[in-house]
Structure 1
Amino acid sequence: MTKYSNFDDMGRAFNERRVDTETRQTYEGSFIEASEMAKLSIVGEAEKLEMPDPDQAAAAVEQMLSTMFDVFRDTRMEEFAADLAWGFVNSFHMVAKRIEGREDDAAKKLGDLVRSYDPSEIYAVELEETQLLCQTLEGCAEAMRCMRDHAGEVYRIETGRPFSTVRGSRVSSKLTASMIDGADYLAARAAKKREEHNPTGPVVAFSGGMEWHDHEQLFERLDQIKRRIPSMVLMTTAMNKGADAIAAAWASSRDVKLVRMMLERRHGNKAGFLRNDRIASLRPVEAVVCEGSGVQIDFARKMRTAGVPLHVFRRNEQAPMQPARSRRA
């Protein structure tokens, strides 16, 4: 196992081995300094803190995951490496969620401040600091999500299995400059949230059985679809294992918007079939179905009835399941 004297050496080694233009651009786009000042808590003072170096962050993620597999490879502990690595990736996911929660709280406070304008200097300082807190946490969450997705890809390469998170005003009528900035920031943040929760683009529907292991054939077919429909939104039937989990991992690795159409369990045994109706009503442009249960049979029938081009994968057409060993792509 290679040892590095410092992060720079590790970063150079990483760049030589793995990082490609797309990965580097993803890190550079996520580790952005919105301001030279940063504020990480309501009570803390603003500080001049930089974001981590993108190349060093990428190297650290690679080294962290790969070292775990290298240490356990060809030993009696090898089968447990994947579980530990999954925990590392999931830690990035959970920390990102916690940061997002703090950002939401700060944005709520910012909204309250914007709506209750006060011309005092104390108000102006609080407004400015709260906005800086929002921006800082937003940037940290984006960087953490970037590392989570990269770690998930290393996990996939090492194990041959995709990572899945489940095992998730004033007397004057004019506004001050800081007031406008705060309002604009909230508007931009709300627009971004709306896009995240209501993505636009052609819908590609996906449904698959819980017992599915061959991710390569699904990745290949979804890649083909994305080449034809670059702005696609992938909509799955939201199973937490099997084919749907593979499709979700593909969407994460390809930066494709994913919509998980959950069951409305109050409908009992009809819930899966009613969910198929909801997906069909959204007029998907293409659909993929992997053999599973009667729900998948109904999904395929409804897609065909609606005239949606359908890609069908049968369970016995999967590649043989690989032994439970770590392997590099």
Structure 2
Amino acid sequence: MSKQTASHGVSSFADLPELYAELIETPDFVASFGDPIPLTISEAGEEPAEHDMPEPIAAQAECGGVIASIFDLFTDTRLEPLAPEIAWGFVNSFHFVASKLERQEDRLADQIRDMARRLEPSEVFINELEQTQLECQSIAEQRAAMEAMRDYGAAMYRTCCGRPWSPAKGSRASQVTTASQISALDFLRARAERRRDRYDPQGPIVVVSGPQDWHDGPLIWTRLDQIRTRIPRMLLVTTGQRKGVDAVAAAWAAQRGVPCVAFGLWGRGKGKGFKRNRDIADLRPVEAILCEGSGIQSSLYELFNPQNGHRVPTHVFMRADQKPDVPVRRKRRVIPA
């Protein structure tokens, strides 16, 4: 809260949303919205001009308010089961635009590199280079703003429905927040090509896998917290399922700010589950959590604990270990920390 706000207090209920947003304002919004470049190019082909960014407080309050309002409106009605699906779409809209801007930014960055190799000291060439650099910077600023709003919307989504938001395909990588969920394809491609650092997080790898009908989330959270105490810079790898153990682990990673790579089954062909397991084992993980499930988990256990070769310390939880699922009533309008 600013000194000015603290000094005059709140004169009416209409002032409360702005005051509350200011109290919880995050550095990510300040970095993305609070210090715009002096000149910007809003759209390709436009002349440079001065355009203001939205206020960080307003951007954060409105972004979180949209997601919370959907859950608040649908709760205790026959539309309540649809709230997560509708809210997912709102967050995904920010993600879609951010991804489109990232592709434009990459294209302009490649163009700038090509131009920099040329020796054309003419005034026309220099003006074209400067224009392209400004357009690239402008798009990077727009992308960062979209990523900040997407990540805050995703945090609100996780708070309201209890599971992490993830895109239908691809990665949710960000330069403005530490939490990320990266698809296996982007992760492996980045390791091979060194395409972008934020798609190639470094650190000792910890693997988590289990069935979709696993209900004891605290058991997984407690063990992951214990592992992170010993391995603070860990990188979490899951088998990419949207329910059960993998979803619990992804929610833990989002809350703790730990990078998470989801090794889904996309594009792996016949026997894809077992091919995926071998890809995970090739990453040389340092520790693993496996919950009793199907042959997928059994295969991982055999890969992690061979008779000879690289052994991975593995925490195994059987179905008898998990507590009965106890439904918890959703709280209304909870703002994530």
TM-score bin, normalised by smaller chain: 0.7 to 0.9
Counterpart amino acid of residue 302 in structure 1: L
CA change 1:223–1:263 in 2 (3 A) is: same
Structure 1: give runs of 5+ residues left out of the alignment.
169-190
Number of the residue aligned with 1:35: 37
Give secondary structure in 1 for the equivalent of 2:315: strand
Residue deviations 1:207-248 (CA, integer Å, cap 9, x gap): 232334554443443343333322212222333444334433
Number of the residue aligned with 1:90: 92
1:251 maps onto 2:253 in alignment: yes
Alpha-carbon distance, 1:97 to partner: 1.1
1:300 maps onto 2:307 in alignment: no
CA change 1:129–1:293 in 2 (3 A) is: same
Alpha-carbon distance, 1:203 to partner: 1.2
Residue deviations 1:108-133 (CA, integer Å, cap 9, x gap): 32223223332111211111121122
Give secondary structure in 2 for the equivalent of 1:56: helix
Residue deviations 1:279-298 (CA, integer Å, cap 9, x gap): 22322121122332101111
Looking at structure 2, the residues matched to 134 and 43 of structure 1 have their Cα atoms a distance apart, in angstroms, of: 12
Please, what TM-score do these two structures have when normalized by structure 2?
A: 0.75
Number of the residue aligned with 1:199: 201
User: What are the equivalent positions in structure 2 for 1:51-130 lying under 5 Å apart?
Assistant: 51-130=53-132
Residue deviations 1:27-58 (CA, integer Å, cap 9, x gap): 33444646222223330122223433222222
CA change 1:120–1:87 in 2 (3 A) is: same
Give secondary structure in 2 for the equivalent of 1:311: strand
User: What are the equivalent positions in structure 2 for 1:137-286 lying under 5 Å apart?
Assistant: 137-166=139-168, 168=170, 193-263=195-265, 268-269=270-271, 271-286=272-287
Among 321, 331, 336, the alignment partner of 1:327 is 331
Looking at structure 1, the residues matched to 313 and 20 of structure 2 have their Cα atoms a distance apart, in angstroms, of: 45
Number of the residue aligned with 2:20: 13
Looking at structure 1, the residues matched to 120 and 299 of structure 2 have their Cα atoms a distance apart, in angstroms, of: 59
Residue deviations 1:158-177 (CA, integer Å, cap 9, x gap): 12222232294xxxxxxxxx
CA change 1:320–1:153 in 2 (3 A) is: farther
Sequence identity percentage = 41
Counterpart amino acid of residue 283 in structure 2: L
CA change 1:320–1:85 in 2 (3 A) is: farther
Residue deviations 1:4-48 (CA, integer Å, cap 9, x gap): 74xx752312345xx3xxx71233344464622222333012222
Looking at structure 2, the residues matched to 226 and 144 of structure 1 have their Cα atoms a distance apart, in angstroms, of: 30
Alignment RMSD (CA, Å)? 3.1
On the 8 A contact 1:206/1:235 being kept in 2, the answer is yes
Give secondary structure in 2 for the equivalent of 1:312: strand
On the 8 A contact 1:79/1:324 being kept in 2, the answer is no
On the 8 A contact 1:79/1:325 being kept in 2, the answer is no
CA change 1:240–1:161 in 2 (3 A) is: closer
Residue deviations 1:40-97 (CA, integer Å, cap 9, x gap): 3330122223433222222112211112222222223222222211111121221211
Number of the residue aligned with 1:47: 49
On the 8 A contact 1:31/1:51 being kept in 2, the answer is yes
Give secondary structure in 2 for the equivalent of 1:205: strand
CA change 1:282–1:192 in 2 (3 A) is: closer
Number of the residue aligned with 1:309: 313
Looking at structure 2, the residues matched to 31 and 15 of structure 1 have their Cα atoms a distance apart, in angstroms, of: 14
Looking at structure 1, the residues matched to 222 and 39 of structure 2 have their Cα atoms a distance apart, in angstroms, of: 44
Looking at structure 2, the residues matched to 260 and 225 of structure 1 have their Cα atoms a distance apart, in angstroms, of: 19
Structure 2: give runs of 5+ residues left out of the alignment.
1-11, 171-192
CA change 1:221–1:108 in 2 (3 A) is: same
Looking at structure 2, the residues matched to 26 and 294 of structure 1 have their Cα atoms a distance apart, in angstroms, of: 42
Give secondary structure in 2 for the equivalent of 1:86: helix
Give secondary structure in 2 for the equivalent of 1:268: coil
On the 8 A contact 2:36/2:52 being kept in 1, the answer is no
After superposing the two structures, state which structure 1 stretch, 120-129 or 276-285, moved more. Answer: 276-285
Please, what TM-score do these two structures have when normalized by structure 1?
A: 0.77
Looking at structure 2, the residues matched to 92 and 283 of structure 1 have their Cα atoms a distance apart, in angstroms, of: 35
Looking at structure 1, the residues matched to 54 and 121 of structure 2 have their Cα atoms a distance apart, in angstroms, of: 37
